[in-house]
């Protein structure tokens, strides 16, 4: 594991990128050299609140994926699994994406050799709808005028077309029920250390990207991109490394505070009686991969006359299948048409499982989640 500061040698990418365009440059290197068949990254669609996963095969098109989008909480782990199993792909991944990819690798749904993961540090994402509302309420700007947003030093910062910036403390926003998504507030994995590289601006000076190289594959990427003349690197000062560690520490501390709150059980929450059995939470879950073979589709659990379903026979079954591998991506919350805080329970069960076994989904080095292992041990 080592650290470098990097920036793009290509002027267009340097300008378009969030902090020096290092990520886009590395992706360009991978495509140009033919190391991968394509790149899966997020590109904006209508505005900054609208990020769409895009599969890029021509490096000229990469420029539109440059920049970061905090209001586009999409998941790419399941896309890789569904559509690119036999392809060599490079993906950009925030920590929960990386954790999902890691869990899918242990389930043999993604081939480790086929995938290059450029990790992105993440302090949390904001849902598009509440993002717009929040900017309308707490900022003087019109949500449509925002050209870029950033989370830095505990503040949510927006940048307007005329170059002016406005910032509000995340803490204040979250007290009012806005700010980051609730699962992001709980999340304590801020740097994707299982990815080949973990990139971000924490600790970096302006115009540079701070990169943590996590493994040999990552080192090869940096060396290769440098050799191809597309990436410029330098060794970061100790101050930069410390600064980055400090930001991470503060983020984790904030998360721990939220985790320590006491959450009600399913039976204590009225929200669960709103369930309409639409299965959207299951379909969007990056860990749930059985699809048609899902046990919930079996005649002994499929019950179309009983709505809302008995929670234990619906979410209980899903919990028993994969809650120990829940990566807390919050997709189930996002898609639930009845606004049930689904991820709350799944994350809670994964934390319980962690207390029993020490297994953190997508972070621990175990070859299999302990529940599956043939070992002769009791909990």
Partner 1 sequence: MADDLKIVGLLCNWCCYGGADTAGTARMQYSPNIRIIRVMCSGRISPSMIFKAFQEGADGVFVGGCHIGDCHYDAGNYKWSRRSKIVEDILEEFGIEKERFCHEWISASEGEKFQRTMEEFRKELNKLGPLELD
CA atoms of 326 and 348, how far apart (whole Å) = 9
Closest distance to partner 1 from the beta carbon of 108 (Å): 20
State which residue, 85 or 301, has the beta carbon closest to partner 1.
Answer: 301
Nearest distance from residue 373's CB to partner 1, in Å? 9
Contacts to partner 1 by CB under 8 A: 265-268, 273, 295, 300-301, 310-313, 316-317, 319-321, 323-324, 345, 348-349, 352-353, 356, 370-371, 374-379
HSE value, Cβ hemisphere, 13 Å, CA-based, for 322: 23
Long-range contacts of 246-253 (CB under 8 A, 24+ apart): 247/202, 247/203, 248/121, 248/190, 248/191, 248/202, 250/154, 251/123, 251/188, 251/190, 252/188, 252/190
- 272 CB-near residues (< 8 Å, 6+ apart): 266, 308, 311, 315, 340
Give 226 or 321: the residue with its C-beta nearer to partner 1. 321
User: Residue 286 in contact with residue 362, Cβ under 8 Å?
Assistant: no
CB 105, min distance to partner 1, A: 22
Question: Closest distance between partner 1 and the C-beta of residue 329, in Å?
Answer: 20
- Give 137 or 313: the residue with its C-beta nearer to partner 1: 313
The string of DSSP codes covering 2-64 is EEEEEEESSHHHHHHSSSSSHHHHHHHHHHHTTSSSEEEEEEESSSTT-EEEEEE-SGGGGGG
Cβ 372 to partner 1 shortest distance, Å: 9
- Identity of the residue, 129 or 371, whose beta carbon is nearer to partner 1 in the bound complex: 371
CB 75 within 8 A of CB 327: no
CB 154 within 8 A of CB 73: no
Closer residue to partner 1, CB minimum distance, 15 or 356: 356
CB of 379: closest distance to partner 1 in angstroms? 5
Question: In angstroms, rounded to a whole number, what is the distance separating the alpha carbons of residues 89 and 18?
Answer: 22
Cα of 42 vs its chain's centroid, Å: 12
Cβ-based nearer residue to partner 1, 216 or 378:
378
Nearest-CA neighbor of 371 among 108, 105, 287, 359?
359
Residue whose CB is less far from partner 1, 25 or 343: 343
In the bound state with partner 1, the residue whose beta carbon lies nearer, of 79 and 317, is: 317
- To the nearest whole angstrom, how small is the minimum distance from the Cβ of residue 109 to partner 1? 21
Alpha carbon 201 to chain centroid, angstroms: 16
Beta carbon of residue 368, minimum distance to partner 1 (angstroms, whole number): 12
């Amino acid at each position: 594991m080592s650290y470098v500061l990097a920036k793009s040698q290509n002027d267009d990418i340097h300008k378009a990128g969030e902090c020096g365009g290092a990520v886009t440059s590395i992706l360009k290197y991978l495509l140009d050299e033919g190391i991968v068949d394509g790149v899966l990254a997020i590109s904006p669609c209508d505005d900054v609140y609208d990020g769409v996963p895009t599969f890029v095969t021509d490096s000229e098109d990469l420029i539109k994926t440059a920049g970061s989008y905090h209001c586009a909480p999409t998941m790419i782990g399941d896309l890789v699994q569904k559509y690119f199993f036999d392809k060599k792909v490079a993906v950009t991944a925030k920590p929960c994406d990386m954790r999902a990819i890691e869990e899918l690798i242990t389930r043999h749904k993604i081939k480790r050799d086929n995938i290059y993961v450029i990790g992105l540090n993440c302090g949390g994402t904001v849902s598009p709808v509440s993002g717009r509302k929040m900017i309308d309420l707490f900022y003087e700007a019109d949500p449509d005028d925002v050209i870029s947003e950033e989370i830095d030093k505990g503040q949510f910062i927006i940048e307007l077309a005329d170059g002016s910036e406005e910032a509000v403390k995340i803490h204040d926003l979250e007290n009012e029920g806005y700010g980051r998504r609730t699962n992001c507030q709980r999340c304590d994995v801020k740097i994707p250390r299982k990815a080949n590289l973990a990139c971000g601006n924490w600790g970096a000076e302006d115009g540079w990207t701070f990169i943590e190289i996590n493994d040999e594959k990552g080192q090869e990427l940096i060396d290769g991109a440098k050799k191809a003349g597309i990436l410029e690197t330098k060794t970061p000062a100790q101050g930069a490394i410390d600064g980055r560690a400090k930001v991470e520490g503060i983020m984790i501390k904030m998360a721990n505070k939220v985790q320590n709150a006491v959450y009600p059980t399913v039976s204590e929450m009225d929200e669960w009686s709103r369930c309409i059995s639409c299965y959207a939470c299951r379909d969007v879950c990056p860990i749930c991969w059985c699809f048609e073979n899902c046990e919930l589709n079996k005649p002994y659990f499929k019950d179309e006359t009983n709505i809302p379903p008995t929670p234990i026979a619906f979410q209980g079954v899903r919990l028993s299948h994969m809650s120990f591998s829940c990566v807390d991506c919050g997709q189930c919350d996002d898609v639930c048409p009845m606004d049930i805080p689904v991820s709350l329970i799944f994350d809670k069960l994964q934390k319980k499982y962690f207390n029993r076994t020490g297994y953190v989904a997508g972070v621990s080095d175990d070859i299999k989640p302990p529940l599956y292992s043939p070992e002769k041990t009791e909990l």
